[in-house]
Amino acid sequence: MGTDVPVLTPGEVDAEHFELLLSDTKTSGEKVIAALRDHLVHGLSAKEATDKHGVTPSQFYNRLKGIQDKHAFICGVKKFYI
């Protein structure tokens, strides 16, 4: 797959897009999900989001990477569906 994947910019991810990216992932903890939502959808910094929801940076970044990987995969295969 190419490297021209659009970045998931904090504060600029649509709430529905976030929920779709989150679906079918291993992420189920409410605190981690809330921190990711506050970061990606509402624009809080990663530190603000993890502090606010009592999530460790490793939990947060592991789940964020999962969402980013899913986003990259979808961007790579979408050309076959549109």
Reported pTM: 0.89
Please state the domain count of the chain: 1
Q: For the chain, where are the alpha helices, taking DSSP H only?
A: 15-22, 30-40, 46-53, 57-77
Range of the domain at 31: 15-80
- pLDDT tens digits along 22-66: 987 877 799 999 999 999 999 999 999 999 999 999 999 999 999
Query: What does the pLDDT read at residue 54?
Result: 98
DSSP secondary-structure letter at 54?
T
In a domain, 9, yes or no: no
Left if phi > 0, otherwise alpha if psi is -120 to 50, otherwise beta: which for 54?
A: left
Query: What does the pLDDT read at residue 58?
Result: 97
Query: What does the pLDDT read at residue 28?
Result: 79
